[in-house]
Amino acid sequence: MKNIYNKVKQLALCAFLVAAVSSCDNEIEDIGGAEQNYNTAYGLLQANSNLTTFAKAIQLAGLEATLNTTDDYTYFVPNNATLDAYLTASGYVNDLGYPDINLVPVEDLKQLVLSHVIKGVKKRVAKLEGVQADYLESGDYSTMANAVNPDLYLLSINVTNNVLKVNGSDKEATGLDYYGTNGFVNVLSNVIELTPPAPAITTLSQVLASPGDIITITGQNFVKVKSVKFGSTGAAITVVSKTEIKATVPADFDSYALIVVETDFGISAPSSIGLKYLLYEDSLKGWGWGWGGDITWESTEKVSRGTNAIKKVAEAWSGLFMHSDVVLNAADYQFLKMSIFPTESTKIMVTINSDTGDSSKGTTVTLKAGQWNNISIPISDLHPGLLTGGTFDSVFIQEFSGGTITPSSILYIDDIGFL
Domains recognised in the chain with CATH numbers: 30-188 (2.30.180.10), 200-274 (2.60.40.10), 277-418 (2.60.120.260)
Span 307-347, pLDDT tens digits: 999 999 999 999 999 999 999 999 999 999 999 999 999 99
Q: How far apart are CA 122 and CA 20, in angstroms?
A: 35
- Residue 132 confidence class, pLDDT cut points 50, 70, 90: low
Per DSSP, the residues of 70-90 read: SS-EEEEEE-HHHHHHHHHHT
pTM: 0.67
- Residue 14 confidence class, pLDDT cut points 50, 70, 90: very low
Q: Coil, strand, or helix at residue 417?
A: strand
Give the per-residue pLDDT at 214.
Answer: 96
- Give whole-number Cα distances, 264 to 156, 225, 227, 260, 414, in Å: 22, 7, 10, 13, 40
Higher pLDDT, 150 or 4: 150
Give the per-residue pLDDT at 326.
Answer: 95
Question: Mean of the per-residue pLDDT values for the chain?
Answer: 88
Give the per-residue pLDDT at 122.
Answer: 80
Continuous H helices in 48-164: 52-60, 64-67, 80-89, 106-114, 144-148
Backbone angles phi, psi at 139, to 5 degrees: 155, -175
Burial of 370 (0-12, 13-18, 19+ CB in 10 A): exposed
Tell me the mean pLDDT in the region 267-271. Answer: 96
- Residue 161 confidence class, pLDDT cut points 50, 70, 90: confident
Tell me the mean pLDDT in the region 7-28. Answer: 38
Give the per-residue pLDDT at 339.
Answer: 95
**Does 38 score more than 80 pLDDT?**
no
- Residue 354 confidence class, pLDDT cut points 50, 70, 90: confident
Please tell me which of 102-106, 183-187, 355-359 the model is most confident about, judged by mean pLDDT: 102-106
**Does 32 score more than 60 pLDDT?**
no
Give the per-residue pLDDT at 128.
Answer: 61
Tell me the mean pLDDT in the region 266-279. Answer: 94
Give the per-residue pLDDT at 68.
Answer: 94
**Does 208 score more than 90 pLDDT?**
no
**Does 130 score more than 90 pLDDT?**
no
Give the per-residue pLDDT at 69.
Answer: 93
- Give whole-number Cα distances, 257 to 178, 222, 229, 262, in Å: 55, 20, 9, 16
Give the per-residue pLDDT at 126.
Answer: 76
Give the per-residue pLDDT at 409.
Answer: 94
**Does 4 score more than 70 pLDDT?**
no
- Residue 27 confidence class, pLDDT cut points 50, 70, 90: very low
Q: Minimal CA–CA distance to 80: which of 55, 52, 61, 106?
A: 52
